[in-house]
């Protein structure tokens, strides 16, 4: 793929259109203004609500501790035109136009930020009492369900499943989590790390059934593949998300095998003047030597700065901005604050800090002694220091690292 980007010194486009008004779309629009872009910025979103942040949906918003999670941004003051409740239907790059429900929209530069949508459970669609948790509307539908303190079956023991189960227990519901894999978070973390996390379910009074598939969902029950019938006042499906890119069919924008927009290191796509960022796009990680598709909040915060910098361009001779982050995410589950930084796929050594049966511990992944990833449970300082050490590719002394009383930053080789 050729690396299309605003050439340094070339005049910036006048009309930037952003498709998708979630975190990545909003941050792109805001970053354009921060970086001095003076042309028009139009942000088009399918949802009717004022743009909002998703993480609180499985936490404070779900439990009614916060009404909503609208971004605290004055779009009007920033000169960002919002077109909400307007679905983007297609892209015609030859004409530099988007097709939307409200008609065509011309652009000089387009940013694809349509995020991801939850994977649905086959056969469960349209069955009363079956819920997803991706949007504010989903969270609002689930709030009264929690208040009624039903028996709830959660399908999927991933990040969303664990967070929803946490909230449902807090609300006083009986919760069973059904997971097809052999353990929670099997795709995200190795077995030795998920082992202590699995114990959190029982501790919180949640029944976890692994190696178990849903055979069918009925109006008031979930039938499992071993014939067990679980009574269910509500079913919450959390079996993953896939990029929301169906609208790009036939546009010429190259999609990857996971349905995501294939971006280059500058977050430009295969089509001139079209960028992609956030949950909908993968990018080549120079740091980790593989293509990453990251479905976490921090990626939707950081990526937009690169996109904006490349749209704005800059003085002649300035290098184009390259996106090569240390990925970061957090999760709040079963009373724990879990944070992860880096990417451990290529690690050759694991070092534990603290007792994983306890309230606070970390796992460090090393490659040739350098810190490449870290998971911290209740140890935010480890995370903050570890993130910087990963960023810098610092070599660590494994023996010092294993001492949880020693600050991570002083365990360098």
Residues that bind ligand FAD (CB under 6 A): 19-25, 44-47, 54-55, 57-58, 87-88, 113-116, 133-134, 160, 244, 247, 278-280, 295-298, 300, 329-331
CA 361 to each of CA 159, 326, 367, 376: distance values in angstroms, whole numbers, following the listed order: 19, 21, 20, 6
240: left (phi over 0), alpha (psi -120 to 50) or beta: left
Residue closer to ligand FAD (CB basis): 112 or 193: 112
Residue closer to ligand FAD (CB basis): 344 or 351: 344
Cβ 166 to ligand FAD shortest distance, Å: 11
Residue closer to ligand FAD (CB basis): 204 or 366: 204
CB atoms within 10 A of CB 317: 7
Report helix, strand or coil for 409.
helix
In this structure, the strands spanning 221-224 and 229-231 are: antiparallel
Residue closer to ligand FAD (CB basis): 134 or 169: 134
Which tokens in the block code for residue 247? 């609208």
Cβ 172 to ligand FAD shortest distance, Å: 21
Cβ 7 to ligand FAD shortest distance, Å: 27
For residues 152 and 144, the answer to whether their CB atoms sit within 8 Å is: no
Adjacent-strand bridge partners of 176: 153, 207
CB atoms within 10 A of CB 118: 19
CB atoms within 10 A of CB 234: 22
Give CA 247 to chain center in angstroms: 20
Cβ 247 to ligand FAD shortest distance, Å: 4
Residue closer to ligand FAD (CB basis): 193 or 244: 244
Angle between helices 136-147 and 159-170 (to 10 degrees): 40
Cβ 31 to ligand FAD shortest distance, Å: 13
Residue closer to ligand FAD (CB basis): 60 or 223: 60
Cβ 46 to ligand FAD shortest distance, Å: 3
């Amino acid at each position: 793929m050729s690396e299309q980007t605003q050439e340094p010194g070339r005049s910036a486009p006048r009309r930037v259109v952003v498709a998708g008004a979630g975190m990545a779309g909003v941050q792109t629009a805001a970053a354009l203004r921060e970086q001095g872009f003076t042309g028009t910025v139009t942000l088009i979103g399918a949802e009717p609500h004022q743009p909002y942040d998703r993480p609180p949906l499985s936490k404070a918003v779900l439990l009614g501790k916060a009404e909503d999670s609208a971004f605290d941004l004055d779009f009007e003051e920033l000169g960002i035109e919002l077109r909400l409740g307007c679905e983007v239907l297609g892209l015609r790059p030859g004409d530099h136009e988007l097709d939307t429900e409200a008609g065509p929209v011309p652009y000089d530069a387009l940013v694809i930020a349509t995020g991801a949508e939850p994977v649905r459970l086959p056969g469960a669609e349209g069955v009363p009492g079956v819920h997803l948790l991706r949007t504010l509307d989903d969270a609002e539908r689930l709030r009264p369900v929690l208040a009624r303190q039903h028996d709830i079956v959660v399908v999927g023991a991933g990040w969303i499943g664990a967070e929803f189960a946490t909230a449902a227990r807090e609300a006083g519901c009986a919760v069973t989590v059904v997971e097809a894999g052999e353990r929670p978070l099997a795709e995200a973390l190795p077995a030795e790390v998920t082992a202590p996390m699995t114990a959190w379910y029982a501790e919180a009074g949640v029944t976890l059934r692994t190696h178990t598939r849903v055979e069918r969902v009925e109006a008031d029950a979930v039938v499992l593949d071993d014939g067990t019938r679980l009574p269910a006042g509500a079913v919450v499906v959390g079996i993953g998300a896939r990029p929301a890119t169906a609208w790009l069919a036939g546009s010429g924008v190259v999609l990857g095998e996971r349905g995501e927009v294939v971006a280059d290191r500058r977050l430009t796509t295969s089509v001139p003047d079209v960028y992609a960022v956030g949950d909908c796009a993968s990018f080549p990680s120079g740091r980790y030597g593989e293509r990453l598709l990251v479905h976490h909040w921090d990626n939707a915060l950081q990526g937009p700065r690169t996109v904006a910098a490349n749209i704005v361009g800059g003085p002649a001779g300035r290098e184009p901005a390259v996106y090569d982050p240390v990925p970061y995410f957090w999760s709040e589950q079963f009373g724990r604050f879990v944070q992860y930084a880096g990417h451990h796929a290529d690690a050759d050594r694991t070092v534990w800090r603290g007792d994983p049966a306890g309230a606070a511990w970390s796992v460090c992944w090393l490659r040739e002694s350098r810190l490449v990833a870290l998971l911290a449970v209740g140890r935010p300082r480890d995370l903050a220091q570890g993130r910087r050490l990963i960023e810098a590719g610092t070599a660590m002394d494994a023996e010092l690292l294993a001492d949880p009383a020693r600050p991570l930053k002083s365990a360098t080789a």
